[in-house]
Amino acid sequence: MSPLFSDRAKRTCVAIALVGSVLVAASSDAFASPSEGHSPSVWELRFLWLNFFLYVGLLYLLLRRPVSSAWAARRQRIEHSVVSATSDMEAAEKELRAIEELVRNLKGEQERAREELLSLTKQEAVAISNEARERAERIRSQAKDLLKGEARSAEASFRGQLVARAVELAKTKFSGGRLAARQDSYVAAAVERAKRLVQ
């Protein structure tokens, strides 16, 4: 069941009542300046005191919830800030310890990295040297094979030219005269010898 008046309406009514009571008290005789030589008695100030207590009571009722909720919200914000700051401080301390550990181990890490770099450099130099040696060996072997092939080719060409020259000489020698009859057998022998030379 919904309340008859909302909290806002109640607060508005209380504020109007407060302002009205202040206005009524201001216009009463209690605030009239006393005549000379006459001090107001407690009984004459009763409306003023009643108005004061009513004003304080209404202020208490009006401001109690907002003030307590504001204090609770502020306490929660402060607690949240403290928890957040504590966790941030712990994280920062952890990072600081890690950095201090790195700084402590920095010299050792530098030395280890230097040794590792030198080792890698030596390994790479050895690998490059071995590769260059293998390549030079392959080139030398290919050059030997090429020279052998060229020598064989030159030798075969020379032998071929020698055989051709020998055949021409034999033809010219046998073509004229008495050896013409034996020409065929000499030519066959020269050709046979040339074949043996070529092989």
- Residue 2: band (very low, low, confident or very high) from pLDDT cuts 50, 70, 90: very low
Residue 51 CB neighbour total at 10 angstroms: 20
Decide if 136 is inside a domain.
Answer: no
Answering whether pTM is above 0.75, one says no
Over residues 73-84, mean pLDDT: 92
Decide if 166 is inside a domain.
Answer: yes
Give the pLDDT confidence of 11-52 residue by residue, as tens digits.
677 677 766 666 665 555 545 555 555 676 777 777 888 888
- Specify the number of domains making up the chain: 1
Dihedral angle of Cα 192, 195, 196, 199, to the nearest 10 degrees: -170
What range defines the domain where residue 187 resides? Answer: 154-198
Tokens of 78: 């402060």
Give the list of residues 6+ apart from residue 182 with CB closer than 8 angstroms, or none.
Answer: 174
Decide if 159 is inside a domain.
Answer: yes
Decide if 13 is inside a domain.
Answer: no
Decide if 163 is inside a domain.
Answer: yes
How many angstroms separate the CA atoms of 82 and 59, rounded?
A: 33
Q: What percent of the chain has pLDDT over 70?
A: 72
Decide if 192 is inside a domain.
Answer: yes
DSSP H helices in the chain: 7-27, 46-175, 183-198
Tokens of 60: 């208490």
Decide if 170 is inside a domain.
Answer: yes
